[in-house]
Amino acid sequence: MMLGAYLGVVTLAQGRPAPARTAADAVAERLGLAPCAVSSAHALFAAGPSQSIGGVPADIHILGPAFARTPGGSPFIGVVDSNAAPAGFLEAIETRWGAFVAWTGTEGGDAVCIYRDPSARCPCYYRRWGSEVVIASHLPFIEALTGRANAIEWPVVADELLYPDLVGRASALVGIEEVLPGEMLHIGREGVYHHALWSPAKFIDAAALPSFAQAQDEVARAVDHACRDWSRQVGPVALTLSGGLDSSVLAATLPGLRHAITLVSGTGSGDERAFASEVCRHLDLQPHQLDLSPADVALSVSSAAQRPRPSTRAFTQSLVKHGSAIAHDVGARAIAYGSGGDNVFCFLRSATPASDRMAAQGLGAGYWRTVMNAAAVTECSPLLIARRSLQKHLRRRRAWTWPRDERLLAPALLDARKAHPPHPWINEFADLPVGKREHVAAIMRGLALIDYLDGADGMPVIYPLLSQPVMEACLRQPTWLWYEDGMNRAIARRAYAHKLPTRIVQRVSKGGFTSLVRSLYLDNLPTIRAMLLEGELCARGILDRRALEAGLVTTPDAGDHLYVRIMRFVDVEAWLAARRA
């Protein structure tokens, strides 16, 4: 569940029919949204946390939780942005972070500017409807004014599978578009256009070389800041704690935390109770442990049915069910997840940190130390790391492309879809060190995945490690510092070493939910076979039917994760069926 909700209508041309604007007041009242800004040209309605700021030429409305950025933080509104929106609006954006959308009118009142903060926690969808544009946090709000969006944008569906976790402006529903994190949408008589205000590249300075001590201090302060402000906003929090580094950092940082939820999804990597229990004992937290079951999951149900793309995964139905139940029982008002920690803490499994150090400092002792550290992190030989880092450095002028997952997709589709969807952050990669490109891509994946665990029961979900201050602080650190001591996420490990058990700080094993997904796959194989072989992905030529049939008759062993790929197809089929209903 989002932490704020809103609906807006903007009329592009005066004197033309405006059915959405005419109906907006009654629809908003029915949806439980109160008026914020109302005029003949546009209207805005909202519920949840909000702020209104007097401004020129119009008031500024902040919809969703918003906190003050730390004084002296890096500015991101540049000279090129200064004419994109009223100055007061840009100042309001630059001095806040949170999970919000900001809205204001322009001179003359015939246009509006809408900004979405970089955390991706407050969605911003819109639909052009005749001479109007309808904008909202929830797809059903838009559909309440414009009718149901039934037509599928099949190229976007294909790209969802070919370029996993790359979210562009186009959605998988015809006519529904999205304002990306950090973007501003300008709507006026001249049309609709996007302008990227916040982007990761604005916080990356290849010439800045902080010490390791400076890096760990800055990252720790940002994490502390984010946890403090989120706790004040939402009240008592229950944390999902695996005993991995990322969730353990939150356990040590969230003020007043009392309850930790450990969800067990099987044996091996799915059972992290020993690690979580150690953290609970060390920090005096009340542990709550629950076994997840495939029986909690209905494959035909899509948790993304009310969203414009198939963004969720079936197995998370079990997580949401149990996590929300415990959180309610202990009196929590929100659930915190450590998701995104690997992404912001620059866990790359790559030689590119050595490439970045070579570019910054040459082939000296520092470079060779990073080679050795990267070899330890990736479990590759130092010679291989040195060779690959040199290759990456020499090829740094080549255009960066999003990795493709071609498994089980139709050959004709692969031939037709040669380029990944555009994204403004990728457009800035040419000027970034090669390792930082991978770091930004990792953050993009983290932001794409936060849809997974949004519950439908009204329990707010927060991801403190994907908060704007944390992203900015982590982006400022050179990639090689994250590999210090031959450990991944080294800055975060060292920053919290004094607050956590040594075994947790030094832990390198990774947990996960693959045991749950595998059980879900094996228990439902006849249903999965029917859903896919008789489904729309095969009928539309997106899947390679013959290869899929071969994959479905093979029982996966512990090291074969093709079933995870197949389960992704099931998620998409469930979403398609929900949209067709």
pLDDT (0 to 100) of residue 264:
87
**Domain tally, the chain:** 3
In this structure, is residue 159 part of a structural domain?
Answer: no
Whole-Å CA distances, 133 to 39, 127, 143: 15, 6, 12
Q: What are the tens digits of pLDDT across the range 382-434?
A: 999 999 999 999 999 898 999 999 999 999 999 999 999 999 999 999 999 99
* CA-based nearest residue to 265, from 276, 256, 254: 276
DSSP string, 270-294: G--HHHHHHHHHHHT-EEEEEE--G
Q: What is the CA radius of gyration of the chain?
A: 24
Q: What are the tens digits of pLDDT across the range 480-504?
A: 999 999 999 999 999 999 999 999 9
523 and 472 in one domain?
no
116 and 56 in one domain?
yes
In this structure, is residue 162 part of a structural domain?
Answer: no
pLDDT (0 to 100) of residue 109:
74
539 and 431 in one domain?
no
Q: Which domain holds residue 540?
A: 514-580
Q: Which of 493, 510, 527 is the last residue of a domain?
A: 510
Task: Give 280-285's long-range contacts (Cβ < 8 A, gap of 24+).
Answer: 280/241, 280/251, 282/500, 282/501, 282/504, 283/251, 283/252, 283/257, 285/239, 285/241, 285/251, 285/257, 285/258, 285/259, 285/260
Q: Which of 490, 510, 530 is the last residue of a domain?
A: 510
* CA-based nearest residue to 443, from 429, 460, 461: 429
518 and 506 in one domain?
no
193 and 311 in one domain?
no
pTM of the model: 0.96
131 and 12 in one domain?
yes
pLDDT (0 to 100) of residue 96:
96
pLDDT (0 to 100) of residue 348:
93
552 and 422 in one domain?
no
Report residue 466 CA to chain centroid gap: 8
Q: What are the tens digits of pLDDT across the range 536-550?
A: 999 999 999 999 999
In this structure, is residue 400 part of a structural domain?
Answer: yes
Q: What are the tens digits of pLDDT across the range 158-195?
A: 999 999 999 999 999 999 999 999 999 999 988 999 99
289 and 241 in one domain?
yes
Torsions phi, psi for 221 (to 5 deg): -65, -40
Mean pLDDT of 127-146: 97
pLDDT grade, residue 442 (50/70/90)? very high
Is the predicted pLDDT of residue 456 greater than 60, yes or no? no
In this structure, is residue 157 part of a structural domain?
Answer: no
End-to-end Cα spacing for the chain? 23
pLDDT (0 to 100) of residue 411:
98
CB 342 within 8 A of CB 334: no
Give Dmax (Cα) for the chain.
Answer: 71
385 and 250 in one domain?
yes
Is the predicted pLDDT of residue 122 greater than 80, yes or no? yes
359 and 287 in one domain?
yes
In this structure, is residue 161 part of a structural domain?
Answer: no
Domain of residue 322, CATH code:
3.40.50
pLDDT grade, residue 514 (50/70/90)? confident
376 and 259 in one domain?
yes
In this structure, is residue 372 part of a structural domain?
Answer: yes
In this structure, is residue 544 part of a structural domain?
Answer: yes
pLDDT (0 to 100) of residue 1:
45
206 and 189 in one domain?
no
pLDDT (0 to 100) of residue 40:
78
Domain of residue 26, CATH code:
3.60.20.10
Six-digit token string for 240: 């999902």
Average per-residue pLDDT for the chain:
93
Return the HEC string of 179-207. Answer: CCCCEEEEEECCEEEEEECCCHHHHCCCC
Is the predicted pLDDT of residue 287 greater than 90, yes or no? yes
Among 160-164, 310-314, 460-464, name the most confident range: 160-164
In this structure, is residue 551 part of a structural domain?
Answer: yes
